[in-house]
Each structure stands twice: as structure tokens, then as C-alpha cells.
Structure 1
Amino acid sequence: MDWKMFQALLSGVNKYSTAFGRIWLSVVFVFRVMVYVVAAERVWGDEQKDFDCNTKQPGCPNVCYDYFFPISHIRLWALQLIFVTCPSLLVVMHVAYRDDREKKHQAKYGADAKLYNNTGKKHGGLWWTYLLSLFFKTAIEIVFLYLLHLIYDSFYLPRLVKCDIKPCPNQVDCYIGRPTEKKVFTYFMVGASAFCIVLNVCEIIYLISKRVTRIAHKIKSRDRIIALQHERCKDQDCNNCSLPMARLDLKLPFQVNEEIRASAPNLSSAA
């Protein structure tokens, strides 16, 4: 892959990530990819040549090596890094899809017409894409850690292994090359993977709590507006009902007095 294209992809992932996502990206591509490329490949190298058995029986060292190392650490980590970085690219592809829709919409309805306020803002479908990518990354990390634990007995590499698989004539002793150095790098890569899982879980909790807080704030604001509208309606009803009654109570005595005076003018003059 071209490094410029690779840098563009990384900058896109970093641009649309949260603070936890940026830390995760730094851990993956500094403490895992760089260690993998610079040191881990050299430590393992062609480990089958360093796997030495105390027999010259043809095929015995190959069979024993395949039994104790069904898949190499270095190749398993390469698969893990490939699979764990793919979900992050889904977010970049979703933003690119939004940008394309925005350009087509503006070309059809004018430059002022907008489908999205911000194509990179994590709302709607993009929020779900980002959240699902976090779940996928966490699941991939856990699966590969479990495979490494299952194949290599709790990530442990002994100096000596005993093999009695055919075509070995009897139980033979086989020695692993640079076991301490390989053990250190194994623990380092496992620790970096576990730290990435913690970052993913923290980011999932952060996104969900932020979404729940935003929804609760919207519901509270809506309830407040509805309560204010109810209070205004109640005040308006009270005013409409009380004002005519007050006016009626004030005008009714004067109307009676005027009718009495009109019907009996003598009484009004005598009074």
C-alpha cells in the first residue's frame, strides 16, 4: 500500500474519532504496528530453523514444530491487526458516502441546500456505524486473544518441549529458539491488545451515556415547554371566564336602577 494513501486513511479515522478513539489509534499504530514491523518480525524470523530437536529422523522436527506451533505468533498478530483496523474504515466510508450524497443534493437543488449540517458529525446512521465498529473491534480483539491463549497455553513459551509424534522414533526433546525474548514480546502484544479492549469499552460507554443524556435533555426540554403551554392555557381560560362575570356583576345594579327610574319617574324624583 502507498504510504500517502495509508496516511490519508489514518487521518480520516483520526478526524472522525472521539478522544478515546484517537488514543486507541495511537496505541494500535505506534505500540502494535511499529513494534510488529520493527522488532517482532526480527525476533521470530524463520522460527522453524531455530526449532532444534535431538534427532535426525527425517520429518520428526517438522511434525513436532507443526504440533506445538500450528500458527505462528507473527502471522496471527498480522491477521489480528488487519481485522481490527477494518471496522474503523467503515466510518470513513460512511462519511465519504454522506459527502457524495451532499454533493449530489447541492448539484440538484443549489449550493444552499443541505442534507447534513456536518457530514462527519456522529448523528443518525453514522452514530450507529461508529458504535457497531467499536463492538466489532472489541469482539475481534477478544477472539484473537482467546485463540492465542488456547493454542499456546496461557501465552507461555517453554524452553523445552517433548514430542513423541510419528515419525519420531521415541520421545524426543525439542528446543525453541530465543524463548525468553519471544515471551516478552508476546506479553507486550497481549497487554497492548487488552488495553485496546479497555479503550473500546470506555468509548462504547461514553457514546451511549452521551446519547442517553442528550435524549433525556430533549425529553426534559419538551416536557418543560408542554408544561408552560398548559400554564398559559389555564391562565387564558381563567381570564376569559372571570372578566365577563366581573363586568356583569358591575353593570347589573345600574341596569336595574335605570329600569326602575324609567317605569316610575315619581319614585326617582321623590327619592
Structure 2
Amino acid sequence: MKSIFTYLAIFLVSASSFAEISNTEKNALVKLYKATKGSQWTNKWDLKAPVSSWYGVGIQNDKVVSIKLINNNLVGQLPEELGDLTSLEVLNLFRNTISGPLPETIGNLKNLTQLNIAFNHISGALPQTLGNATKLKSIELHMNRLTGELPANIGNLASLETLSLFNNEIEGSIPMSYYQLKSLKELLLNSNKLTGKLEREVSNLTSLETLSLFENKMDGQVPFDLEKLHNLKEMNISYNMFNGFVSKNLAKLDTLNMTMVNEQGVATTLKVSIDKNSAFAADE
């Protein structure tokens, strides 16, 4: 009797060891491999081996939950089939040579919490569907070639803590919906082509710790309401076209001391208000 239980235990362990993900998910991974020239990756996959042995792929309960292929020489475009990995929680493709647009199907990743495809060659506009991945906490797509305007529905991502899109070619203004991101801690939009104003509603971003908007084309008055952000530790909004007065507190907070570029392309420093030294004075 004892030997029967022993064999049964060995069988169950063996069965769990060889448990496989679905054909749909495996196909999505194979598409990713082939679309990004997997044969040239630094750490390659053996497509004949179990998926659980593939470098950078995390599996739980027979589902792909993470892909981490950092600095692994991925070259090419991300396939639409990426959206079939519906249990994916982490997608980290930092520092590769991925090009082309982000697939629209990225919005299918309802469990995704971390998206990092920074330091690549991603181009085109951010897909509107990105706002459908409602569990996202971190979006890092800096140092790419993104164009177009910021999708308004990113403002639907109530859990978002980091939005890092600096060093791209994004145009237009910051959507009003972004000022409702109560969980946002880092807003890094510097070195783009943003225009429009920084609205007073920025004071709604009560969790914000870092605000970086420098080197854009934003204009209008710098809102005194920034002073209401009591968690704000770092700010750089210089090298825009903001005008008017700023408070002493805001001038001290900005790392480049509110240096702006006027219509003639000349660098100037915003004047510090003597009478208004706080956001509350501005409300009077």
C-alpha cells in the first residue's frame, strides 16, 4: 500500500512539473520571439523546451504572468498577439531596439500592473486602449520616438503611480483627466512638444512627489496651486513659455529656478512675487 501512495505522489509531482500554458499563450510568446528576431537575442528561447524554461518568462497556475527581457537585443515590432497574454502582470522590455507602434491589443491586458518599454524605438501615438488596462501602476515609455497626443483615458487608471514619457515627441496639452490621478507619484513628461497650460487642477494630484515638465512649449501662468501639493519633493518646469509671477516657494522648488524661453528664443527667469507667496494668497 505504501508503494502505491509513493508512486502516486511521484506521478502528481511529475504531472505538475510538465504542466503547460494554453496554446493561445504559447503562440503569443512564439510570435513575440519571431517578431523580435529571437534567434539573435542575447538569451534565446529553445522553442522545443518547456515554456517554463524560457528565459524571462514567469508562469503561475499555468498562466504567463511576467515577461522580463531587459537589454536582451530584441529587434522589431511587438505583435498583436501580445494581447492574448491576459494574465500578464509585468511586461519589462527595457533597453532593446523595439520599433513601430504599441499594439492596440495592449488594452486587453487587464491584469497588467507594470509596463516598461523605455529606451527603445517605439513610434507613433500611444494607443487609446492603454486606458483599458485598469490595474496599471507604472507606465515607463521614456526615451522612445512616441508622437501624437496623450490619450485622455489614461486618466481612468486610478491605481497609476508612475507615468514616465520623457524624451519623446508627444504633442498637445495635458488632458484634464490626468489631474484626477489621485495615486500618481511621478509625472515625467519633460523633453517633448507639449503645449497648453498647466491647470490649477494640478492641486488634485495629492500623492505627487515628482513633477517634470521641462523642455516643452507650455505657456500661461504657473499655478500657485502647486504649493498645495504637500508631498511634492522634486519639480522642474523650466524651459517652457510660462509667464507672469511665481511664489518664492515655487521658485525654490524648481531645480532650474524657473528659467523660461520667450517667443524670441531668449532664456529669461520668471519674476518672484513679493505679495503672493502661497497658493492660498492666490485664491483671495
Higher share in helix: 1
Q: Normalized against structure 2, the TM-score is what?
A: 0.19
Name the structure where strand makes up a greater proportion of residues.
2
**Higher RCO structure, 1 or 2 (CA under 8 Å, sep 6+):** 1
